[in-house]
Amino acid sequence: MRNLVTYMCIVTFWAFLFTVPMAVLPVRAGGVPRVDGPEITFETLTHDFGEIGAGTKNTYEFKFTNTGSSLLKIGKIKCTCGCTVPTLPKKEYAPGESGTLQIVYHASRNPSSITKRCPVPSNDKKSPTIMLDIKAKIVMKVGYKPERLKLLLKGENAGGPEITLTSRDNQPFSIKYFKSTGNGITVDYDPLVKATKFVLKPQVDTEKLQKRPRGQVEIGLTHPGCKSVMIIFETLAEFKTDPGVVYVREAEPRKPVTKKIRIFSNYNEDFEIESASSKKGIVKVLNQEKIRNGYQFELQITPPAAESKRRVFTDVFSVKLKGGQQLQVTCYGIYSRKGTKSSR
């Protein structure tokens, strides 16, 4: 009788087990259960463009799927650099729905290896922010020489050298435009001519160069991997002051300090001084002496009484040359703490 009761209990248990429905989780393709809630899954988190041309536009599409069991909501995507622009057609994706996030990277004009990051926020509780990376090596598809133009205010054509452009991948290109800061540098070119190498002969306008002695030259190209090249130019000034700034450290109010400055011609030419002055009257000329290719000034700098908590003072020493040109040297003083306390 006891065995019969035991047998009936076992039969009843198994009958109950098979008649009560069990909770079933959603299943992904391949038999892997989905998570309870939204889940964003990217096919890849990193893309390497490899070698790209300077100044070029590069696009990649990151593909993803909502592998969760409820609606996926993606927040605002903002990459770490303004040169990297994300585009997402919509922000909400149903379970199992896929999407594409487009990333456009605008390469800089300077050769370098880069990594740019784009955080993707969403309502995925397990991974609320997914970090996407793009990598690249920026190279110059068109080489140029010289890398910097050093010009003069004297001599034939301001000493401007030829500019050589060379395709590094043997891809022919043509010149679209040529422009320079202040329009002081121009070249003749034919936009219809294609070649793998160009030798340009710049023409320099010295008068315009005097007004804008520093700047850059930009040459537009049709090369698919190099839209333009930029070359910095600088002009040797006619005169130089040494030092360019006069510093007075540990200054004491009304206690004169003597300093010397020199003015030279960078072109080894004689010149004459018409006058010298101080903007605030802090600087006075004790002696002016003619030296080779220039002049030496012995200056007396008298720090004024310290104003409230200010521990610095400034003045501008100006030298006017015959011919109208004016040179300026800034005087910058720092009071000693002891001196400023005693002057109050």
Choice between 252 and 24, residue whose per-residue pLDDT is larger: 252
Same domain, 111 and 188: no
β-partners of residue 131 are 119
Nearest to 62 by CA among 99, 115, 106, 91: 99
Q: pTM for the complete prediction?
A: 0.68
Q: Evaluate if residue 17 carries a pLDDT over 50.
A: no
Q: What confidence tens digit (pLDDT) does each residue in 129-149 have?
A: 999 999 999 999 999 999 999
Nearest to 149 by CA among 117, 101, 181, 105: 181
What number is the average pLDDT over the span 224-253?
A: 94
Any domain includes 6? no
Task: Tell me the average pLDDT of the chain.
Answer: 89
Same domain, 121 and 190: no
pLDDT at residue 342 in the model: 52
Q: Evaluate if residue 26 carries a pLDDT over 60.
A: no
Same domain, 69 and 127: yes
Same domain, 130 and 64: yes
Q: Dihedral (C-alpha) 24, 30, 36, 42: value to the nearest 10 degrees?
A: -170
130-150 b/e with 16+ CB inside 10 Å = b? Answer: bebebebebbbbbebeeeebe
Any domain includes 226? yes
Comparing 66-80, 109-123, 172-186, 303-317, the range with the smallest average pLDDT is 303-317
Comparing 64-73, 152-161, 186-195, the range with the smallest average pLDDT is 152-161
Same domain, 182 and 260: no
Contacts of 145 (CB under 8 A, 6+ apart): 163, 164
Q: Which of 117, 139, 161 is the last residue of a domain?
A: 139
pLDDT at residue 339 in the model: 54
CATH code where residue 70 lies: 2.60.40.10
What number is the average pLDDT over the span 242-249?
A: 95
Comparing 156-165, 175-184, 333-342, the range with the smallest average pLDDT is 333-342
Percent of the chain's residues with pLDDT above 90: 78
Same domain, 133 and 205: no
CA separation for the pair 295, 329 (Å, rounded)? 14
pLDDT at residue 311 in the model: 86
Any domain includes 56? yes
The tokens describing 319, both together, are 């030298």
Choice between 113 and 307, residue whose per-residue pLDDT is larger: 113
Q: Evaluate if residue 265 carries a pLDDT over 70.
A: yes
Same domain, 215 and 251: no
Containing domain of residue 299, as a range? 239-342
Choice between 9 and 114, residue whose per-residue pLDDT is larger: 114
| Res. 110 pLDDT band, cuts 50 70 90 | confident
pLDDT at residue 36 in the model: 86
Same domain, 250 and 230: no
CA separation for the pair 199, 187 (Å, rounded)? 10
Same domain, 135 and 198: no
Any domain includes 4? no
DSSP class of residue 75 equals -
Q: Which of 172, 207, 235 is the last residue of a domain?
A: 235
| Res. 21 pLDDT band, cuts 50 70 90 | very low
Any domain includes 196? yes
Q: What confidence tens digit (pLDDT) does each residue in 198-237 have?
A: 999 999 999 999 999 999 999 999 999 899 999 999 999 9
Q: Which of 79, 107, 139 is the last residue of a domain?
A: 139
What number is the average pLDDT over the span 271-291?
A: 95
Contacts of 163 (CB under 8 A, 6+ apart): 144, 145, 146, 149, 187, 199, 200, 201, 202, 217, 219, 231
Any domain includes 83? yes
User: Can you list the alpha helix ranges (DSSP code H) found in the chain?
Assistant: 2-19, 206-211, 337-342
pLDDT at residue 323 in the model: 85
CA separation for the pair 26, 35 (Å, rounded)? 8
Q: Evaluate if residue 71 carries a pLDDT over 80.
A: yes
Q: What is the residue-wise DSSP string for 11-55?
A: HHHHHHHHHSPPP---B-TTSPBPBSS--EEES-SEEEEEEEETT
Any domain includes 12? no
Any domain includes 131? yes
The tokens describing 5, both together, are 């009761």
Same domain, 215 and 279: no
Same domain, 231 and 173: yes
The tokens describing 142, both together, are 């068109």
Same domain, 130 and 101: yes
How many domains does the chain divide into?
Answer: 3
pLDDT at residue 50 in the model: 95
